Structure 1
């Protein structure tokens, strides 16, 4: 499958906007305490701010991803870790309890890891592609 560089650039922008927009929307600009309540180690307000920072980093390299292929590998590893943490979290927690307390937090916990797995695949693909071009 041949994916154009411009499409990959849009993928980086989409990844960044998902991080930034997702966190700001579902955390209600960091005022939704339910998110931190159910996973204080990963999803504290500090953790959410750092997710926004990762999103800014994705956007920052969107047009120059081929020049920083090892940074793209770091992005893939970061997404792998978040995806794994989410899967483990799902096995040990009850989404219904979160929805009962706050729908926005429930939606956040339902989808954030799936988003991370999707972009893990994307960043891995881009890393392998750029590595093969060198």
Structure 2
């Protein structure tokens, strides 16, 4: 597996989690995000997304096999994708956009972003498993 691609993927996931939350939540001051989903996207929930981002960043610099860590990250992303899909089917994006453009954009893209990184983490998990079998 290309170690550099894996490292850059982990860094990109970290940047999306940390930067995305800080920008769209306006550093945790955008209450429209909290109001739209007070359980998953409370300020505590948003802070935990940043913490996950820090975990991805730390994983980017691990030199040994990160297979099981990537597997855990894939499951974590799957949970957020399912939460996003449930939210999308039960809520109105238009209402969120009406409340705040940043919040609307956040809810429009966060599940798709998590889906892409879920696939990346699953690929790392699967690829590193194959490398171990070949050794």
Fold conserved between structures, TM > 0.5: yes
Structure 2 unaligned spans of 5+: none
1:110 aligns with 2:119: no
Aligned mates of 2:35, 2:13 — CA distance in 1 = 25
| 1:49 matches 2:47 | yes
Deviation of the 1:65 alpha carbon: 6.5
Structure 2 equivalent of residue 58 of structure 1: 56
- Output the aligned Cα RMSD: 1.1
Could you tell me how far 1:98 is from its partner in structure 2?
0.5
Name whichever of 4-13 and 17-26 sits farther off. Answer: 4-13
Give TM-score, length-normalised by structure 2. Answer: 0.94
- Structure 2 counterparts to residues 1-134 of structure 1, below 5 A: 4-64=2-62, 66-134=64-132
Between stretches 62-71 and 72-81, larger displacement belongs to 62-71
TM-score by length of 1: 0.95
- Residue 68 of structure 1 deviates from its aligned partner by 2.8
Count of residues paired in the alignment: 132
Distance 1:123 1:82 in 2: 14
How far does residue 66 in structure 1 lie from its aligned partner after superposition?
4.5
Q: Write the distance in 2 (CA, Å) between the matches of 1:82 and 1:92.
A: 15
| Distance in structure 1 (CA, Å) of the matches to 2:126 and 2:78 | 15
Q: Which whole-Å CA distance do the structure 2 matches of 1:18 and 1:106 have between them? A: 17
In structure 2, what is the Cα distance between the partners aligned to 1:63 and 1:100? 41
